[in-house]
Amino acid sequence: MNRILTAAAVSLAAISLATAAPIIGKPAPAFTATDSNGKSHTLSDFKGKTVVLEWTNDGCPYVKKHYGSGNMQRLQQEITAAGGVWLSIISSAPGKQGHVNGAEANQLTAKHKAQPTAVLLDPTGAIGRAYEAQTTPHMFVIDPTGNVRYMGAIDDQPSTEAATIALARNYVREAFKAVSTGAKVAETATDPYGCSVKY
């Protein structure tokens, strides 16, 4: 009997872990995080709006490609101007590449003229692991009901060369527009590219 109960408990734990990961069409993993200004946010704060999550690390050459060219900032401005929410998440652990405190994160935002809704600090990696964030950048689009509608790469050009941006199919822009208009998202999941998240 004990063995059966133990096996059942293990099975339930496995199911719980499996459902905690992001799944297209299912509720996005809930989180609470402090932003670079010391303000607390939960994902549920933004219910009713389309939310874009962006994993970032200023030391990563793939991130530098998108910020150095202004590509990421243009997308942030476009999405927030359309009523969306953009949350940049830094999951680099203390002592690892990309780790910053709130003041340093704000300096980077100002330096790059970035326009996220907020920069969330995740030094323990709790949010990153909940979303199974693998790279910087790694992108997610969450619809107004809180369901994941897209996850993966920002575009189809896995290169550090800024010149490839002009050739790119931007999956995040496509997904945001589809969600905004009630259309089907054409590409719901792609392989993310970039530097590994520095947990």
pLDDT tens digit sequence for 24-42: 999 999 999 999 999 999 9
pTM attached to this predicted model: 0.89
Confidence of residue 21 (pLDDT cuts 50, 70, 90): confident
Lowest mean pLDDT among 7-11, 99-103, 128-132, 152-156: 7-11
- pLDDT at position 38 is 98
Section 128-156 average pLDDT: 98
Three-class SS of the chain: CHHHHHHHHHHHHHHHHHHHCCCECCECCCCEEEECCCCEEEHHHHCCCCEEEEECCCCCHHHHHHHHCCHHHHHHHHHHHCCCEEEEEECCCCCCCCCCCHHHHHHHHHHHCCCCCEEEECCCCHHHHHCCCCEECCEEEECCCCEEEEEECCECCCCCCHHHHHHCCEHHHHHHHHHHHCCCCCCCECCCCCEECCC
Tell whether 11 is covered by a domain: no
In percent, the amount of the chain with pLDDT more than 70 equals 90
Q: Total structural domains in the chain?
A: 1
Q: Give the pLDDT confidence score for residue 19 in this predicted structure.
A: 41
Q: Does residue 77 surpass a pLDDT of 70?
A: yes
Domain containing residue 74: 22-196
Q: Over the stretch 162-172, which tens digit does the pLDDT of each residue have?
A: 999 999 999 99
Report if residue 8 sits inside a domain: no
Kindly tell me if the per-residue pLDDT of 76 is higher than 50.
Answer: yes
CATH number, domain containing residue 134: 3.40.30.10
* 3 falls within a domain: no
110 inside domain: yes
Q: Region 59-74: what's the mean pLDDT?
A: 98
